Amino acid sequence: MTAVVLYESMFGNTRRIAEAIAEGLSPVTAVTVEPCSRGGGADADLVVLGAPTHAHTLPRPESRKEAARWADDPEQHLTLEPEATASGVREWLEQLTTPPEAWAAFGTRVDIPRMFAGDASAGIQRRLRRLGSDPIAESECFVVTTKNTLVDGELERAREWGRSLGEHVFAPLVAE
């Protein structure tokens, strides 16, 4: 049994959440964590897919370019992830013709009310549901401060969510 955590990340927070989710999954299955831009992963037994929230939804090529411009401003103190401007979750979803067997979605967003920030995980869920598949769990959104650091406790919450996903998908198989 295999799991993959696919993500896109601009400044590292979504990658860190993806890694924590994988840590939570690792006691029950083999887990791979990789950027969506590499194009694989849809054939895993469990696909966990995540992205940062840009303009209320999934990043677009234009919003990725804007993130790169922010990182170019030394006053912002931002470091752009190596694959930040490559294709991401939106494009990965667009190339799918069949949804993953089991999947869950997560997002990161700024620490303001969701109605103002939006939620990338909702966009992931909507697109996969259109392909006729329901998630194994409700999406999770992890929060970043306006200074671009994860809110205290979010990494542990991501590990716990990963653990619960793993138990839901893989524990019944181990018990058989």
Question: Quick one: how far is CA 114 from the chain centroid?
Answer: 17
Supply the pLDDT for residue 74.
94
Kind of pairing between the strands at 103-110 and 46-52: parallel
Burial of 58 (0-12, 13-18, 19+ CB in 10 A): buried
Phi, psi dihedrals of residue 170, rounded to the nearest 5°: -100, -25
Average pLDDT over residues 1-22: 95
What is the value of pTM for the model shown? 0.93
Q: Which two tokens stand for residue 78?
A: 């931002």
Whether the per-residue pLDDT at 27 is higher than 80: the answer is no
Q: Which domains does the chain have, with CATH numbers?
A: 2-175 (3.40.50.360)
Per the CB < 8 A criterion, the answer to whether 22 and 165 are in contact is no
Other beta carbons less than 10 A from residue 33's beta carbon: 19
pLDDT tens-digit readout, 98-126: 999 899 999 999 988 777 888 999 999 99
- Give yes or no for a contact between 7 and 53, defined as CB atoms under 8 angstroms apart: no
pLDDT value of residue 172: 60
Nearest one of 31, 30, 33 to 18, comparing CA atoms? 33
| Encoded tokens for 104 | 């869950």
Q: How far apart are CA 65 and CA 60, in angstroms?
A: 9
